[in-house]
A and B are shown apart, each in its own frame.
Chain A
Amino acid sequence: MIKFTNVFKAFPKGGLALKDVSFHVAKGEFAFLTGHSGAGKSTVMKLIYADERPTSGDVRVSGYDVNQMRPRDVPLLRRKLGIVFQDFRLLEDRTAEENVAFALEVTGARSSTIPARVMRVLTQVGLAAKAQAYPRELSGGEQQRVAIARALVNEPTVLLADEPTGNLDERATRGVFQLLRDINASGTAVVMATHDLDLVRQAPYRVIELQEGALVYDSAVDEARDQAAAP
């Protein structure tokens, strides 16, 4: 599904954003990507959605080779991903419903199918009643739910969430996190970058930790090794 093999990424002004990073996220898996600010979490995310290309090494996502892919294939890759950001990235002059529909319209979905699909995901994130509200009329947690609905509407195989709870209070954080767990439970792989360690400890999910661009801990690998080493 997502496979990094010995990935290096240089900053444009010199220095390395990522140093020899390798990991594999399987279909349907939930993985945390943790580390301090500047550890390289967002770079990993950008490589996954092909906003950046690795300086060396191999990045494969949903059958695409990010190093080799043609620019015109990038939109096709992104349609297989759902992406959620800390700052929601909603269009202020459109309602919740229109924001979600927008993601379908730009991919050329048949317009007759759009309203039903939009309502289905808005219901899934618990915002059906606020479909006509504009972003400024919604709380942070609700705006993030709209963003998640937009990410889900194309039925992605992977949901990428880059600090999705970074701007939310504790209650909204719990709600959004539970929503991501539900989405994962229905079969969608989730990669969530966060530095909220409380959240990470709460759930029995895989943890990949980055430090200054290097992968320093991967629970899937390290726990297996620990178990093998145990008497």
Chain B
Amino acid sequence: MNLTFREAVLTFKRAPLLSVLSVTTIAFSLFVLGLFGLVVINLQDALHGVEERVEVVAYLLPGAPIEATAQALKDVEAFPEVQSATYVSEDDALARARAELVELRDVMQELERNPLPASIEVKLKPGFRDTDHVAAVAERLRGFGFVDDVRYGRDWVQTLDRLRGLAAAVGFVVGAAFAVVAIIIIGTTIRMAVLQRSREIAIMRLVGATDGFIRRPFLLQGAIKGLLGGLVAIGLSFAAYLWINRYLLQSAFFTNEQAAAIVGFGALIGLFGSAMSVGRHLKRV
């Protein structure tokens, strides 16, 4: 291990420019990925706020029996997707309408009869606030005999869903593209390092070094470059985050775990790139 580490570090000394180049490329690849990650994180936060307001409302037929309604409320609360279910009586609905719709207060005062139906308002648990689950819950609510109609912001929920899907998909594509670029660049630098050291490698083989032994310093070197690239990328992302917060809008940064994951991902890219390259080029030396 000692020798492996020494050899890996020696490569940085022997080809400093090449090493800086590969670290920089990984750093920029991960930086772009990091920026996108910040957008996704902040978008996710925003969506989360909106999501909490997703609810399904079941309007009841006039004169629905109280006992049956109370039982239904319990049943609905027992649905696995449901966070809470609240019964809103006709009177509650009218009171709420009076409070919320100030402009119509006069009209409401003059009503002889309460035109508003009683309803059950259902809030879903986080993770179930998407089209499929909302629709499934709505369908089950329709199954109750005393339910007249079920309403939920179908289009709204779908749009939200699509936005999130799009964000994840674009993130994945951009991430994959940059990972590939970084792997190719690391692979190229490793290839140059292998060729540069071909004489040394030939001598190592003659004196009985195993292929694994010859490969190890190159793998370590790739992983170190990836790790450094990841650290630089986190630094750049943080600078960008500070700038955005100061001049544009209040936003969130990665958690420590997410930052560590990005750095780890960099190391993994470096390791993978060098593994692909070193295996291929060692055969030719």
Residues of A near any B CB (own CB < 8 A): 49, 71-72, 75-79, 83, 89, 91, 102-103, 105-108, 111, 150, 154
Contact = CB atoms under 8 A, between A and B. Distances in A.
Contacts of B202: 89
B207 A108 contact: no
B205 A89 contact: no
B210 A75 contact: yes
Contact of B200 (A49, A75, A91, A105): A91
A164 B162 CA distance: 74
Contacts of B207: 78-79, 83, 102-103, 106-107, 150, 154
A77 B209 CA distance: 11
13 contacts: A71-B211, A72-B211, A75-B209, A78-B206, A79-B208, A89-B199, A89-B203, A91-B200, A105-B3, A106-B207, A106-B209, A107-B208, A154-B208
Contact of B208 (A71, A78, A89, A91): A78
B282 to A, nearest CB: 12
Contacts of B3: 105-106
Given A79-B207, A106-B209, A107-B208, 11 more contacts: A49-B206, A75-B210, A76-B208, A77-B208, A78-B208, A83-B207, A91-B203, A103-B207, A106-B204, A106-B213, A108-B213
A64 to B, nearest CB: 13
Interface string B205-245: 11111110110000000000000000000000000000000
Most buried by B among A72, A79, A106: A106
The 10 A-B pairs of least Cβ separation, nearest first, read A106-B209, A79-B208, A78-B208, A103-B207, A75-B208, A75-B210, A105-B3, A106-B204, A107-B208, A83-B206
Contacts of A78: 205-208
Contacts of A49: 206
Nearest to A77: B208
B2 interface: yes
Interface in B156-211: 199-200, 202-211
Contacts of B199: 89, 91
Interface string B102-114: 0000000000000
Contacts of A108: 213
B137 to A, nearest CB: 60
Nearest to B197: A91
Interface of B: 2-3, 199-200, 202-211, 213-214
A103 B206 CA distance: 9
Contacts of B203: 89, 91, 102
A105 B202 CA distance: 15
Nearest to B213: A106
Contacts of A71: 211
Contacts of B209: 75, 106-107
A189 B2 CA distance: 34
B218 to A, nearest CB: 14
Nearest to B7: A105
A76 B212 CA distance: 13
A75 B2 contact: no
A83 B209 CA distance: 14
A106 B206 CA distance: 10
B2 A89 contact: no
B220 to A, nearest CB: 15
B2 A111 contact: yes
Contacts of B211: 71-72, 75
Contacts of A91: 199-200, 203
A49 B206 CA distance: 8
A108 B209 CA distance: 9
A150 B208 CA distance: 12
A102 B209 CA distance: 10
Nearest to B6: A105
A144 B214 CA distance: 25
A77 B205 CA distance: 11
A102 B202 CA distance: 13
A72 B202 CA distance: 16
Contact of B210 (A72, A89, A111): A72
A102 B213 CA distance: 12
Contacts of A107: 207-209
A103 B273 CA distance: 28
A106 B2 contact: no
A46 to B, nearest CB: 11
Nearest to B204: A106
A78 B211 CA distance: 13
A77 B206 CA distance: 10
A89 B199 CA distance: 8
Contacts of B204: 102, 106
B121 to A, nearest CB: 69
